[in-house]
Structure 1
Amino acid sequence: MTYKAVVIGGGPGGYVAAIRIAQLGGKVAVVEKDKLGGTCLNRGCIPTKSLIAAVDKLKTVEEAAEFGIEVGKPVIDFGKVQARKADVVEKLVGGINFLFKKNKVKLFNGTAKIKAPGVVEVENNGENQELHCENIVIATGSSPALIKSLGYNGTTVITSDEALQLTEVPKSMLIIGAGVIGCEFAHIYGSLGTEITMVEAAPSILALQDKDISRRMQTIFKKKKYSIKTNVTIKKIEEVESGIQAELENGDIINAEKALISIGRTLNIKNIGLEKLGVELGQRGQIVVNDKMQTNIKGIYAIGDVVMKYQLAHVASAQGIVVAENIMGKQSTMDYSAVPSCVFTSPEIASVGMTEQQVKDKGIPVTAGKFNFMANGKALSMGEGEGFVKVVTNSKTDVVLGVHIIGPHASDLIAEATLAVKNGLTAKNLAATIHAHPTLAEAIMEATENVHGISIHG
């Protein structure tokens, strides 16, 4: 049996690619060594959002008195929180299995190795099977990055994988790395009562965000009594009776029950046959692809984290669709001009396009407009007035080059901004669009008005 394509990896890139190939009439197989859904569904996006949903409910109860609703002190049953998370994940994994059957996608459980172009060997419990195909799609994803000197052991020194499986809320946690993953876990466990200390080598937390956003989030975290140490690295971590003891390069000592390593991710590309095939790799070890997601070897494609364009589930899915269309004879290319990214803290953060500094670095004349949620009727009614919308434009053309939001439902609001950046809309285009009242989206309208200094409420 020859397949139109064999997809290695059933994450948000791989399973989407496979389903689209099947929808377009191709016979397709997926090889997955674990559960369908990949990191995103099983150890990333979905389980973290389930835990965040729980702490958001906790916040609602804790703040109920401000709305005139008296309730008793909430009691956290962390076992039930974790059980609900597992249930959500199980339902979504089951959903992908259903979609595979519906679209006649063949699933092989096991570890894949590319023996030659068009030949994939699947090993499962010591038994090997060869799959023959016209095309191969590498969608093997990534795993949490580890620094051996930090003493990772999976119990007191952990990664995000173990942080999602804890059976008890730690009394204290040292978070190494204050990027997206570190900040989301700070929000989760800090909200549950864990004493949080964050150590970041960069000058600020969320260093890739617009500076105004990262500064505001750092201020919010400090108000929550999180200890934040930037511009410093960990020298060593030792196990002690109470958990761990970390020594920083500046000599500071930190004691905590757990240490969470959240310094990024490493690519899952070892032992899948790339070296023998001569697949080109980049300086950071990533698989090099063109805008059609093709490698330098005919009939072999790569998508998702392994190509290191953006390590985001929705980008992997978009790449999967591009791959599927190219395999099935259509001409499709990736466009990274408007990629939204979200941080599910409280308040949420969402961004699309360039930061103000990136625009300046390119020598483009820049004008930014900002509007605070404190002046938005819906936000105040919700008790969520913290944060703002910032719109970055080209001063000469008025085209929106970036939008950065910190505030309530930022991850939902960014969709309008992404559409604007994708289609080259101007600030005046957005400002002239009637937005329903009272809604959070009005903050985007007012921020674009503020680009020209005519915001009514700003």
Structure 2
Amino acid sequence: MPEHQYDVVVIGAGPSGEGAAMNATKNGKRVAIVEDKNTVGGNCTHWGTIPSKALRHSVKQIITFNTNQMFRDIGEPRWFSFPRVLQNAQKVIGTQVKQRTQFYSRNRIDLVNGSASFVGKNELEVRGSKGVETLHFKQAIIASGSRPYLPPDLNFRHHRIYNSDTVLSLSHTPRTLIIYGAGVIGSEYASIFAGLGVKVDLINPGSRLLTFLDDDISDALSYHLRNNGVLVRHNEEYESVDGDDHGVVLSLKSGKKIRADAFLWCNGRTGNTDKLALENIGLQANGRGQLSVDDHYRTEVENIYAVGDVIGWPSLASAAYDQGRSASSDIVQDDYFRFVSDVPTGIYTIPEISSVGKTERELTEAKVPYELGQAFFKDLARAQITGEPVGMLKILFHRETREILGIHCFGDQAAEIVHIGQAIMNQKGDANSLNYFINTTFNYPTMAEAYRVAALNGLNRIF
């Protein structure tokens, strides 16, 4: 049984593990990263962020082709199958894996393939195809990610019942699809399949879509999903899901029955901690497989950290990378540690959504005297040129100091546009002010110009 000694061992080669490993090795630590899949990148690269966003991009291009009058000179609207569209995502995944594998080799990080389990507070066992290796370490960072939560009463072995991982192996295009769970993943897949012409029933156990969003944005998402043919059913819970050779029947507790060609489960995720033998180091995960950490990403065991999906909120690849890097910063004691809390939300529905800061509801409940400025994309020259008129930008600001309190965007390129507002929000004192957008010249025509339009709209509301 080979034994190795490291300063830092990272469990998981997704975004949080990569961030942790890179920062540690660049600060002179001897680092190993353990990955139980054959290739690096984690759930983000193989089943989550990258494939779903690549899928979305391809579907968006199809929608543009099929709805833009200019393309009618080329030919009639075309139908594309789900497997055909998925091929583009596979190319992106391959590029990402190659790139990230090179990161590890170039930075002299030992990549150990296999399943990790703790033997003690300074010892890890890795079981792989080449046998068992023992890794000794001073510090460990658990970055093992998450997987879809699968209720035991659903038969996910049935060829018509999928979850958000296995849907990427879907070998045909269903005519009708039930998506259970209307969170970020469920809403994104509802947009993707609706864009391919699939009739989608989106079942939401809650009372409205994505309740953490600003109410106007949530309402806009509901409208556009329905406008694209998605039937959204709120306040519904499943009783049973039964598949046969011809389709799937969803029985709801309300007494309704819905039939479709396929069923996609998108309701919750579970941290990947069940195989780590946490009991050997005195750690225990909660019911969703998640670990609790302090404000420096330390678990209850002083030399063991945890980052990414395995600690729960916000469960975003963007935040995970920064969390991993920050955990390493705490170990190497550099100048870059921060507890990651200022996280923009990026939701890649069609059109996409992004926000940062407070919502109107939060500000109202806190009795903050705020005002708002709005810019509707249909009024912007750039949106008229690109043929993407759906959407809006909303700036929330303090009525007296004009401090920017929240940015909420819905429409094409929303996840890019939000960063302009985020940059101003992070400035100190008067630099964080609505006045910046009023006194700054923006390129014309651009989508960024929405900030000037929204700021002037907000200024007109102050008396």
Letter paired with 2:164: S
Q: CA deviation at 1:332?
A: 4.5
Contact 1:82 1:165 in 2 (8 A): no
Q: Which deviations, in whole Å up to 9, do the C-alpha atoms of 1:195-236 show, x marking residues without a partner?
A: 100110111122221111111111111111211101121121
Q: CA deviation at 1:278?
A: 2.0
Partner of 2:434: 427
Partner of 2:459: 452
Out of 9, 29, 42, which is 2:12 matched to?
Answer: 9
CA pair 454-367 structure 1, distance change in 2 beyond 3 A: closer
Partner of 1:354: 358
Letter paired with 2:269: R
Contact 2:8 2:140 in 1 (8 A): yes
Q: CA deviation at 1:429?
A: 2.2
CA pair 82-64 structure 1, distance change in 2 beyond 3 A: same
Q: CA deviation at 1:127?
A: 2.1
Contact 2:123 2:135 in 1 (8 A): yes
1:33 is aligned to 2:36: yes
CA pair 274-150 structure 1, distance change in 2 beyond 3 A: same
Partner of 1:364: 368
Q: CA deviation at 1:81?
A: 2.4
Contact 1:292 1:332 in 2 (8 A): no
Q: CA deviation at 1:327?
A: 1.6
CA pair 287-208 structure 1, distance change in 2 beyond 3 A: same
User: Aligned partners of 1:371 and 1:449: how far apart in 2?
Assistant: 9
Q: CA deviation at 1:269?
A: 1.1
User: Aligned partners of 1:152 and 1:410: how far apart in 2?
Assistant: 35
Partner of 2:400: 396
Out of 225, 236, 240, which is 1:232 matched to?
Answer: 236
User: Aligned partners of 1:445 and 1:105: how far apart in 2?
Assistant: 47
Contact 2:249 2:257 in 1 (8 A): yes
Q: CA deviation at 1:284?
A: 5.7
Contact 1:288 1:307 in 2 (8 A): yes
Unaligned stretches of 5+ in structure 2? none
Residues 108-187 of structure 1 correspond to what in structure 2 (within 5 A)?
108-125=112-129, 127-153=131-157, 155-187=159-191
CA pair 67-383 structure 1, distance change in 2 beyond 3 A: farther
CA pair 168-30 structure 1, distance change in 2 beyond 3 A: same
Contact 2:274 2:289 in 1 (8 A): no
Q: Which deviations, in whole Å up to 9, do the C-alpha atoms of 1:138-188 show, x marking residues without a partner?
A: 000000112233443352121011112211111110010111101111111
RMSD of the alignment, in Å? 2.0
User: Aligned partners of 1:420 and 1:337: how far apart in 2?
Assistant: 17
User: Aligned partners of 2:71 and 2:401: how far apart in 1?
Assistant: 45
| Secondary structure of residue in 1 paired with 2:327 | helix
Out of 292, 295, 302, which is 2:296 matched to?
Answer: 292
Q: CA deviation at 1:41?
A: 0.4
User: Aligned partners of 1:353 and 1:258: how far apart in 2?
Assistant: 38
Q: CA deviation at 1:126?
A: 7.6
User: Aligned partners of 2:313 and 2:166: how far apart in 1?
Assistant: 26
User: Aligned partners of 2:320 and 2:91: how far apart in 1?
Assistant: 24
Q: CA deviation at 1:297?
A: 1.3
Residues 50-89 of structure 1 correspond to what in structure 2 (within 5 A)?
50-65=54-69, 69-76=73-80, 78-89=82-93
Partner of 1:436: 443
CA pair 335-100 structure 1, distance change in 2 beyond 3 A: same
Partner of 2:205: 201
| Secondary structure of residue in 1 paired with 2:46 | helix
Contact 2:118 2:280 in 1 (8 A): no
1:18 is aligned to 2:21: yes
Letter paired with 2:28: G
User: Aligned partners of 1:307 and 1:321: how far apart in 2?
Assistant: 15
Contact 1:339 1:418 in 2 (8 A): no
CA pair 307-286 structure 1, distance change in 2 beyond 3 A: same
User: Aligned partners of 1:144 and 1:30: how far apart in 2?
Assistant: 23
Q: Which deviations, in whole Å up to 9, do the C-alpha atoms of 1:66-100 show, x marking residues without a partner?
A: 57754333242544422222121011111111111
Partner of 2:389: 385
Q: Which deviations, in whole Å up to 9, do the C-alpha atoms of 1:242-268 show, x marking residues without a partner?
A: 211111222111100111111121111
| Secondary structure of residue in 1 paired with 2:353 | strand
Letter paired with 2:308: G
1:264 is aligned to 2:268: yes
User: Aligned partners of 2:85 and 2:48: how far apart in 1?
Assistant: 16
Contact 1:142 1:267 in 2 (8 A): yes
Contact 1:115 1:121 in 2 (8 A): yes
Out of 99, 102, 105, which is 1:101 matched to?
Answer: 105
Give the total of aligned pairs.
455
User: Aligned partners of 1:284 and 1:96: how far apart in 2?
Assistant: 29
